[in-house]
Amino acid sequence: MQDEIEGVAVRCFDAIVVGAGLAGVCAVYRLRQAGVSVRALEAGGGVGGTWYHNRYPGARCDIESLDYSYSFSDELQQEWKWSERYAGQPEILRYINHVADRFDLRRDIQLNTWVVRARFDEAQERWMLFTDTGEVFSAKYAIMATGVLSVAQVPSMKGLEDYRGEWFHTGDWPEQGVDLAGKWVGVIGTGSSATQLIPIVAEQTEHLYVFQRTANYTMPAQNHPMKPEVEQEWKKHYPDRRKFAWASGFGHNQVTNHMSGKEMSAEARLAELENRWRLGGLYMMRAFKDILTDPEVNEIAAEFVREKIRATVQDRQTAEALCPRDLYIGTKRLCSGTNYYETFNRRNVTLVDVKNRAIERITADGILLEDGSEYEVDALIFATGFDAMTGAMNRINPVGRKGRALREAWAAGPQTYLGLCVAGFPNMFVITGPGSPSVFSNMVTSIEQHIEWTVACIEHMRAHGLSSIEPTVQAQEDWTRHVTEAAGKTLYAQSRNSWFHGANIPGKPVVFMPYVGGVGNYYQTITRVAQSGYEGFRFSSAPAVRNASHAGET
Ligand code: NA7
C-alpha cells in the first residue's frame, strides 16, 4: 500500500464514513462496536448533517420525535426526553450531539473536512479519499452517509449577482441566525421548508412576499408539548414500538387505515379524513390504503384539504391560489406546518403567483416577473429544495473499477442493488441511497437498517477472509427494474414533476428514485439476501493488504 500520495501521508482506517449526520453518527457507533477502525469525515463544523445545516426558523421534523430517534441503545431511548410531539431543529441537533458525547464518538469524527473525491484502488482493493484539507485517507470500506437532502439547490436565476440585499437558502442557514425584523422579505418556494418558515418569518418582517410556483398540500402538524402519559407509554413498550416500525410500511408507528376509500361510505370517509386532519402531518397519507394508487380516492382526500384551505383563508382569490390543482396529494412530499394557511390572513403577507408569470430575473432591488411587475425586497429566502438523493454522491463522484466514475454509471439515473451498493464500486455502501425506502420512510429507521446490514456484511467478509464485495450487474438491473415497477403501481408514476424524480434539477434524468415497496418488506428482502450468503453480490477473496482489527488508525 502507498504510504504517501503526492507527498501527503496517507492515513489508513478499516472504514471511512463520509458524513456525520444521523447516519454517520450511527455508523461510527456500530462500526466501533464491531471492532472496525473508523474515521468519519464531516464537512460541517459540527455533527448533525441535515439538522446542522437546516437552521431556518421553524425547521422541524414531520415524524414524531419518539419515532424519529435511534433504537440502538435502550438506555438512550429511556433517558432522552423529547419536549414536543414533533421536535424542532435545535432539539434534534442537541440530541445528535448528546449521542456523540454519550457514546464518546467524537474522537472518531473529524469536522470541517470535506471529501472532495474518492477512487477505488483496484490493486490494493481499498478506497482512497481526498479532502479539501489536503489530507488523504485510505480505507477498506467507504460508508457513504452523505445524506439525501444535503445539497441545497439555488436555482440559476439571472441577476442574482447584482442583488443588493441579503439572500439565504433554507438548507444552508447561517449559524448565527438572520435578523429579518422590520424588513421586506421574499420567500421563493412553497415546499416543506417554506411552509414551516413562512408563519414564523411573517411575524418578524414588515412585509412578506411568498412566491409560489406550485401550490402543495400542507397539513397542520398538530404539534404540542410532549404529553407525559404518551412518553411513559412509549418508554414502557419501546422494543415493541421499534419492532412495529421496522416491519411497517413507512418505518414508524403511525396508524394506517387498511380500507380502500371506495369501500367506505361517504360519511365514514369524511370522518376518517377529519380524524387524519386532527392527527395532523403525514397521517393524512394513511387515510385509505389506496390513497396513493387510486386517482379517485386521492382526489377525495385532495378536495377535503382544498375545502380546509377555503375555510381558513379569508381572501377568496388567495384561497383558490393556495389550492393545489393537477397534483395528486402526496406525490410531491406532503407538507406539515403550523398556521401556514392562517398566515395568509395577515395584512403583511402577499401570495405572488409565479406559475403563470414566472420569475424573469433578480434585480438589484428584488424580483422581476415576466409580466413586468417588480417586488422590492431587503432580503430573499430561497426555500427551493435540494439536489435530492444523488446530489451529494455525484458531487464526490467516486471512481470505481476501471476508472469508471459514478456520474457516468448513473448518467441515465441512479442504479443500485438494494439501494445500498453499486456494481463496479466495491466495498462502497450508500446509506439510504436511491433504490431504498429512504425519503419514503422514517429516515432514522432506514438509516439503522442500512447500517446494521452494512456492519453485518463487513463482519461476514472478515469472518470469511473476503476482500471485496459488489453487486452483479444483473442483480442491480433487476433491482432497479423492481424499484421502477413498484413506483409504477402508484400515482407517483403519473406525477413526475417532483424531486422524488429529480425533476427539480435541470438536466437530471427524470427517474423515480426511492423504493416504495414498504420498509418492512424491504427489510425482509435485505435480510434474506444476507442470509442467503449475499445472493446477487460477488466477493473477491484476494488477500487483504492490511486489515486491522483494533480501534484507531491502522
Ligand atoms: P422542495 O420540497 O423541493 O420545495 C422547493 C420549492 O421551491 C417548491 O415549491 C418549488 O416549486 C420551489 N421552486 C424551486 N425552484 C423554483 C423557481 N426557480 N421558481 C419558483 N419556485 C421554485 O424543498 P423543501 O426544502 O421545501 O423540502 C425538501 C424536503 O426536505 C421535504 O420534502 C422534506 O422531506 C424535508 P415547484 O414545486 O418545483 O414548482
| pLDDT at 549 (0 to 100) | 39
Q: Record the cell numbers describing residue 420, joined without a space.
A: 445500498
Torsional class of 447: left (φ above 0), alpha (ψ -120 to 50), beta (otherwise): alpha
The CB of 213 under 6 Å from ligand 1? The reply is yes
Rounded Cα distance, 504 and 1, in Å? 43
Task: Indicate if ligand 1 lies below 6 Å from the C-beta of 352.
Answer: no
Cα 293 to middle of ligand 1, angstroms: 24
Q: How far is the CA of 475 from the centre of ligand 1 (A)?
A: 34
Question: At a CB cut-off of 8 Å and minimum separation 6, what does 109 contact?
Answer: 20, 24, 25, 28, 39, 40, 42, 47, 100
Q: How many other C-beta atoms are found inside a 10 Å radius of the C-beta of residue 212? A: 19
**Under a CB-based contact definition with an 8 Å cutoff, are residues 14 and 83 in contact?**
no
The answer to whether the CB of 214 is under 6 A from ligand 1 is yes
Q: Contacts from 524-529 at CB under 8 Å and sequence distance 24+?
A: 525/418, 526/418, 526/420, 526/449, 526/453, 527/453, 529/418
Q: How far is the CA of 468 from the centre of ligand 1 (A)?
A: 39
Query: Is 505's C-beta closer than 6 angstroms to any atom of ligand 1?
Result: no
What confidence score (pLDDT) does residue 553 get?
46
* Ligand 1, atom 17, residue with closest C-alpha: 155
DSSP letter at 106? G
The answer to whether the CB of 118 falls within 8 A of the CB of 399 is: yes
Q: Is any ligand 1 atom within 6 A of the Cβ of residue 53?
A: no
**Average pLDDT, consecutive stretches of 10 residues, N- to C-terminus, the chain (554 residues):** 79 98 98 98 98 98 98 98 98 98 98 98 97 97 97 96 97 96 98 98 98 98 98 98 97 94 97 98 97 98 98 98 97 97 98 96 98 98 98 98 98 98 98 97 98 98 97 98 97 92 96 97 98 97 51 42
d(CA 516, CA 404): 29
Q: How far apart are CA 373 and CA 357, in angstroms?
A: 9
Find out whether 291 and 298 touch, Cβ atoms under 8 Å.
yes
CA trace torsion 36, 402, 514, 391 (10° rounding): 90
Nearest atom within ligand 1 for CA of residue 213: 39
Indicate whether residue 359 lines ligand 1 (CB < 6 A): yes
Is 36:28 a contact under the CB 8 Å cutoff? no
Which pLDDT score, from 0 to 100, does residue 554 have? 45
Residue having the nearest C-alpha atom to atom 12 of ligand 1: 189
- Nearest CA owner, ligand 1 atom 15: 384
User: How far, in Å, is the centroid of ligand 1 from the Cα of 507?
Assistant: 17
Place of cell 456484511: 457
Measured by CA distance, the residue closest to atom 37 of ligand 1 is 214
DSSP per residue, 36-78: --EEEE-SSSSS-THHHH---TT-B-SS-TTTSS--S-HHHHH
Which residue from 209, 39, 28, 26 is spatially nearest to 115, judged by alpha carbons? 39
Question: What 3-state class would DSSP assign to 539?
Answer: strand
State the Cα–Cα distance between residues 174 and 341, nearest whole angstrom: 27
CB of 191 sitting under 6 A from ligand 1:
yes
d(Cα 84, Cα 64) in Å, to the nearest integer? 9
Given a contact cutoff of 8 angstroms between Cβ atoms, the answer to whether 261 and 226 are in contact is: no
Ligand 1 atom with least separation from CA of 171: 25
Q: What is the pTM for the complete model shown?
A: 0.96
Query: In a mutational test of the pocket of ligand 1, which residue from 201, 213, 285, 440 has the highest number of ligand atoms less than 8 Å from its CB?
Result: 213
Q: Which of 193, 218, 285, when mutated, tests ligand 1's pocket best, judged by the most ligand atoms within 8 Å of its CB? A: 193
In terms of Cα–Cα distance, which of 444, 420, 419, 423 is closest to 516? Answer: 419
CA distance 272 to 284: 9
pLDDT at 1: 59
Grid coordinates belonging to 417: 442493488
Q: Is 490 in the pocket of ligand 1 (CB under 6 A)?
A: no
For the Cβ of 170 lying below 6 angstroms from any atom of ligand 1, the answer is yes
∠ CA 284-290-296, nearest 5°, is 90
Question: Do the bridges between strand 126-131 and strand 136-144 make them parallel or antiparallel, or are there none, so unpaired?
Answer: antiparallel
Q: How many residues does the chain have?
A: 554
Sorted by sequence, the CB contacts under 8 Å of residue 312 that are 6+ apart come out as 319, 341, 342, 345
Residue 151 near residue 352, CB atoms below 8 Å: no
Kindly give the number of the ligand 1 atom that is closest to the alpha carbon of 155.
Answer: 18
Amino acid sitting at position 509: P
